[in-house]
């Protein structure tokens, strides 16, 4: 290998055109999924306090927001529901006329080409705020699977294009795959939140979705942030159970996990640029402490470089606009 002075790495950095030519990672609008919150009621567009620019829409006001997403050529959205009431068995999660089910129908009717993914979880629908069923103060795994699978099926029946289980119960991907297949939905893909960590970065989301656990925490089902090898086991299990796309979540503090997963498994990998990551940037930008556009583009490009094929981000609309301006 030659070295300085024959080699000068700065040569290929000299102009913008040269840099374009040798750039290794590319952030594209095609990579983006935009998360949306839907609430009960009419005419609602409720600002989410901790997330400037993010709102909770009722089914009727969602259409306008989706028009913007379409105009920006963002390929897909992921829907999170905020139900009218909660109970022990999360009945609104799989109700035929639940808020998510109605939102799916409305969006697919207005924009058939827009990819509609749904978050499949019970936490926003249970009175205790846990992602599964609680018995004697414990989140019990196997009894939760039936309800989680029923939720995924109800989304598919309403017209969802893809389901994304985020509950972290063992065996949920297999349970969902089986129930979907039995009901003729063998072509609906599953994007599993495979390596989902027990993270403090979900704080603003829980405020938006009203999904904070009312006792304890999620550490008995979400992963310990200190673990990496275990993430590979989670991904392996989900793929064995039939996952089509695997997700690493959060993204920023877990870029090494994205890279490891991408190196080991030849499947599409999604990264979730979560609510806390969004809020940190928004807060710092509001105080003029950072250049928002520059840091967001750098963060998301870093996720691509780490190996993410898909990025779920609350910045999707802004990023789509910035990418347009660059051209």
Q: Which residues are known to be catalytic?
A: 196, 249
CA distance 114 to 76: 6
Q: 245 and 189 in contact (C-beta within 8 Å)?
A: yes
Question: Which three-class secondary structure state does DSSP give residue 96?
Answer: coil
Phi-psi region of 137 (alpha: psi -120 to 50; beta: other; left: phi over 0): left
Lookup: tokens for 231: 């993430």
Number of residues that bind ligand PBG (CB under 6 A): 11
The two counts, helices (H) then strands (E), for the chain are 11, 12
Binding mask 74-113 for ligand PBG (x = CB under 6 A): ----------------------------------------
**Helix (H) or strand (E) segment spanning residue 79:** strand 76-82
139 binds ligand PBG (CB under 6 A): no
Q: Give me the least distance between CB of 100 and ligand PBG, in Å please.
A: 12
Crossing angle between the packed helical segments 255-264 and 229-241, to the nearest 10 degrees: 50
121 binds ligand PBG (CB under 6 A): yes
Among 99, 133, 248, 274, binds ligand PBG (CB under 6 A): 274
Q: Give me the least distance between CB of 304 and ligand PBG, in Å please.
A: 19
Q: Give me the least distance between CB of 288 and ligand PBG, in Å please.
A: 25
119 binds ligand PBG (CB under 6 A): yes
Q: Give me the least distance between CB of 117 and ligand PBG, in Å please.
A: 12
205 binds ligand PBG (CB under 6 A): yes
Binding mask 165-204 for ligand PBG (x = CB under 6 A): -x-----------------------------------x--
Residue 77's contacts (CB-CB under 8 Å, 6 or more residues apart) are 33, 34, 35, 36, 66, 69, 107, 114, 115, 116, 117
**Helix (H) or strand (E) segment spanning residue 139:** strand 138-140
Q: Between residues 131 and 270, which has the closer beta carbon with respect to ligand PBG?
A: 131
Q: Which residues bind ligand PBG (CB under 6 A)?
A: 119, 121, 123, 131, 166, 202, 205-206, 211, 274-275
């Amino acid at each position: 290998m030659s070295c300085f002075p024959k080699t000068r790495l700065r040569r290929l950095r000299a102009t913008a055109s040269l840099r374009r030519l040798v750039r290794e990672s590319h952030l594209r609008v095609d990579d983006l999924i935009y998360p949306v919150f839907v609430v009960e009621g009419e005419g609602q567009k409720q600002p989410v306090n901790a997330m400037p620019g993010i709102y909770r829409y009722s089914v009727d006001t969602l259409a306008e927001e989706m028009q913007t997403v379409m105009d920006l050529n963002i390929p897909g959205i992921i829907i999170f529901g905020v139900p009218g009431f909660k109970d022990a068995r999360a009945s609104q999660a799989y109700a035929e006329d639940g808020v998510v089910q109605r939102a799916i129908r409305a969006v697919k009717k207005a924009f058939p080409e827009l990819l509609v993914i749904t978050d499949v979880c019970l936490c926003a629908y249970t009175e205790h705020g846990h992602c599964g069923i609680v018995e004697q103060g414990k989140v019990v795994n196997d009894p939760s699977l039936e309800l989680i699978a029923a939720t995924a099926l109800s989304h598919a029946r309403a017209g969802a294009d893809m389901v994304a289980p985020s509950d972290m119960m063992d065996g949920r991907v297999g349970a969902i795959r089986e129930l979907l297949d039995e009901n003729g939905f063998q072509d609906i893909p599953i994007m599993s939140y495979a390596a989902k960590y027990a993270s403090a970065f979900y704080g603003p989301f829980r405020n938006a979705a009203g999904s904070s656990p009312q006792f304890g925490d999620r550490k008995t089902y979400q992963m310990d942030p200190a673990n990496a090898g275990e993430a590979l086991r989670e991904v392996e299990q989900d793929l064995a159970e039939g996952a089509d796309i695997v997700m690493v979540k959060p993204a920023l503090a877990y870029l090494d996990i994205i890279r490891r997963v991408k190196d080991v498994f030849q499947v599409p990998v999604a990264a979730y640029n979560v609510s806390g990551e969004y809020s940190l940037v928004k807060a710092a930008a509001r105080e003029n402490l950072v250049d928002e556009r520059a840091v967001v583009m750098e963060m998301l490009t870093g996720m691509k470089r780490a190996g993410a094929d898909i990025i779920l981000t609350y910045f999707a609309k802004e990023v789509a606009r910035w990418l347009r301006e660059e051209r």
